[in-house]
Amino acid sequence: PAGFVGFCVRHSQECLVSSPHPSLIAFTAERRAEAEQVQLATNQTIQPRENPSHAWDYARDGAGDCNTYALTKRQALMARGWPADSLLLAAAYDELGEGHLVLIAHTSDGDFALDNRVDHVVEWSELPYRWISMQSQNSPARWVAVTEKRVLVADATAARKGP
């Protein structure tokens, strides 16, 4: 997504890391509780606000759009010791055909979404979205295409030309 490029310019440390052996977080009761707490706290703390420029960033003034929610949840879970390569941003179209971003936690029990439109952490396949792409576990700066709620092996960035 185009907004991700600007995020990487401002937060390069979060985009330049690569992981040859991606993590699969053990989804223990404790980890599930952490995810639920971050989900609830972030959804309650950030006030929804449309972002016409679609700039991606963390919550700075207590308001933001889906990008803000997803990035803030990712940051909060990483602060609790979750490995960055198990916390992936995923782009989708919602029921109205509008772009939407959620955080996906790649766990031993499956892939779970932390979405600002729902109260609890849910399996990503339960959401009514048409998934487009998701960050690669091997490199957060790369995005992979998603089809039928499965990640394709092909790297979506390989199709881009230019600098």
Give the rounded percent of residues in the chain with a pLDDT score beyond 90: 55
Handedness of CA 125, 126, 128, 129 (dihedral sign): negative
pLDDT at 109 over 50: yes
pLDDT digit string, tens, across residues 29-59: 999 999 999 999 999 999 998 766 667 888 7
Per-residue DSSP letters for the chain?
A: -HHHHHHHHH-GGGTS---SS---B---HHHHHHHHHHHHHHHHHSEE---TT------SSSEE-HHHHHHHHHHHHHHTT--GGGEEEEEEE-TTS-EEEEEEEEETTEEEEE-TTSSS-EEGGGS--EEEEEE-SS-TT-EEEEETTEEEEEEGGGG----
Task: Give the residues across from 20 on adjacent strands.
Answer: none
| The model's pTM | 0.85
Tallying the residues shown for the chain, one arrives at 163
pLDDT digit string, tens, across residues 66-92: 999 999 999 999 999 999 889 999 999
